[in-house]
Amino acid sequence: MSKEMKIKNLTPDTIKRIQTNPKLFNIFLEENPGFIEKIILKFTRHDSADFDDYYQIGCVALWRALDKFNAERMGASTFSTYAHHVIFND
């Protein structure tokens, strides 16, 4: 299960399962902490007091991106690009 939950390995079916199951989203977050960290480090340092706040905002933004993403229309290969844009703009 872990390998298919990595953001770079997502298939449209996996995205749909994550969208309908909050427990899978938690697993998805646990498997991809670096994805959010990489984006928020553009705004703050890892040891900054703001890091945790930005990380939480990034998690919410990732949930929103996943909720709004249409895997059938856009294809799984573009989810990471879409999610990056949503997180960066929050």
Write down the pLDDT at residue 52.
87
Instruction: For the chain, give percent helix, strand, coil, nearest 5.
Output: 80, 0, 20
Cα 74 to Cα 52: distance, rounded to the nearest angstrom: 31
Ranges in the chain, pLDDT < 50:
1
Write down the pLDDT at residue 23.
92
pTM for the structure as a whole: 0.81
Q: Which two tokens stand for residue 4?
A: 């298919």
